[in-house]
Structure 1
Amino acid sequence: MKPYIKEMIVVEGKSDTNALQKTIDCDTIETNGSAVSNSVIQQVKLAKERRGVIVFTDPDFPGEKIRKTIDQAVPGCKHAFLPKEAAIDVRKKKVGVEHASNEDLYNALKEAKPSYTTEETTLITQSDLITAGLLAGKGSKQKRERLGVLLKIGYSNGKQLLKRLQQFRVTKKEFITALQQIEREQQHDE
């Protein structure tokens, strides 16, 4: 028997819906592209009121654009993220939710986190990001990619990282634990 997800899952298209429904008993709302229509926003608002919503878009620029549009129009939805390497079809050189394994799809949904748009202070600062080598210098992009995977908040560029950490209320302890994990992995690779 397939696991059940009660929330409506926002995906980009039919192939994402098909991939999810092979593994999970779920319902989806398809955006059909990165220009999210008003009717889709209305569906997401209704779904959030009645069942809850998980936004699950591709780990690429159009997917992030959709995620941001929905987050601004319907604050407080949960967000599920796939690392880029889990969503790549090497043969077609494409990235998408539909290319992920059943296990990766289920785990991403299980780990979905709510986004908060209220202005709350966080203990993580811009200075912390600089000290951790996440904003500039050799390997900073790879560190941000790995941090996004470990914290299950997806990849963020240097400009967006602090906002993403605050949006998902990542604690200083979670942040430090993830950085220590990255450090251990880097030492192991050397």
Structure 2
Amino acid sequence: MRIKEMIVVEGRDDTTAIQRAVDADTIETNGSAIGKAVLARIALAKERRGVIILTDPDYPGERIRRIVSQHVPGCKHAFLPKHEAISKKGDDLGVENATPEAIRQALLTVQEEAEEAPALILWEDLHAAGLISGEHARRRREQIGDKLSIGYANGKQLLKRLHMFQIQPEEFREALISVLKEEQ
């Protein structure tokens, strides 16, 4: 599987994992202290080939995703579910731990950021769905993120991603129903 876009990853081990899964070029941020030169390379890559951001499903990975998105708007986003990125020992979370199949699946479900998305799903909708507070909220948000291929997020970020990726209310409802059925 050949990927036309450049894939933004955190480090060398992520590049190795990507290249085991697909034929693609990567840009490594070398952690969350992303320099201006790296951001300039990402901007050039986006202009010439397009960019897909695939970072670890943890706080530092989300921080890198936000920094790159702010400096280089219009990037595509691929998300690995946490359970696909955990090491065999269970002590490390990262792209480098994912199987080639999990990486290919994440890249097949790439989400494009929309320029101006109307607010179709409201904060109240998330609250009513039990995604903001309550004993199951965190797990439900994680499952919703997996089903919609937008990754795990806290409540505020989930709402932002639903808008950013223009998730339609019907699509959201179907994912929520599926999550609630799995709880039974």
**Equivalent of 1:129 in 120, 126, 129:** 126
| CA distance in 1: counterparts of 2:156 and 2:2, whole angstroms | 36
Q: Segments of 4+ in structure 1 off by > 3 A? A: none
3-state SS in 2 of match to 1:29: strand
Pair 1:51–1:180, CA change in 2 (3 A): same
1:58/1:97 contact within 8 Å kept: yes
1:65 Cα shift?
Answer: 0.5
3-state SS in 1 of match to 2:155: coil
Deviations 1:19-61 (A, max 9, x none): 1111211000000010111111111111111111000000011
3-state SS in 2 of match to 1:9: strand
Partner of 2:92: 94
- Structure 1 or 2: larger strand share? 1
Unaligned runs of 5+ in 2: none
Aligned length: 184
Partner of 1:179: 176
- 1:1-190 matches, within 5 Å, as 3-91=1-89, 93-118=91-116, 120-187=117-184
| CA distance in 2: counterparts of 1:67 and 1:116, whole angstroms | 15
3-state SS in 1 of match to 2:5: strand
1:143/1:182 contact within 8 Å kept: yes
Deviations 1:87-126 (A, max 9, x none): 00132600000100110000101111112353x3221001
Unaligned runs of 5+ in 1: none
RMSD over aligned Cα atoms: 1.0
Paired amino acid for 1:143? R
Q: TM-score, normalised by structure 2?
A: 0.97
